[in-house]
Amino acid sequence: MAEVYEHEAGRIIIGHSDEELSIGLLILNPQSRYVRHNRPVKEQLTQAHGSCTMELIENGKQKSVVLNAGDTLEIPANQFHTHTNPNDETSVTMWKFEGDITQVIDGIRKSMKKV
């Protein structure tokens, strides 16, 4: 069963998470941004609904990538980034991690309100 957590910009839905695979959704409200973060393994994103702008930070430089519905993006392990929804429509991004992000998932569970 999926777990749903609220954050200031929307919701995170954890569909499945163990030491080998984690999948879920990041829902961003219109005109919102999810905090700058990184992950210990490669992040695979697919834009499921609406669009969002990914801000990738590498060597102190920022690069923006727009994801529209159906677009995919891979973010290398440990690369800082933000998810931004500058639009008037809700953004839904599916995330997938092959590898252990159980500490990240535990942090979400501890720091966000379960719905």
Q: Is 68 exposed, middle or buried (0-12, 13-18, 19+ CB in 10 A)?
A: exposed
**How do residues 96-114 score in pLDDT, each as one tens digit?**
999 999 999 999 999 999 9
pLDDT digits (tens, 9 = 90+) for 6-61: 999 999 999 999 999 999 999 999 999 999 999 999 999 999 999 999 999 988 89
CA-CA distances (angstroms) from residue 99 to 38, 41, 44, 55, 113? 14, 6, 12, 23, 25
Tokens of 102: 């159980």
* Domains parsed from the chain with CATH numbers: 3-114 (2.60.120.10)
Question: Which pLDDT belongs to residue 39?
Answer: 95
SS3 state at 67: strand
Specify the DSSP class assigned to residue 78: T
Compute CA distances 8 → 12, 35, 59, whole Å: 11, 9, 28
Whole-model pTM? Answer: 0.94
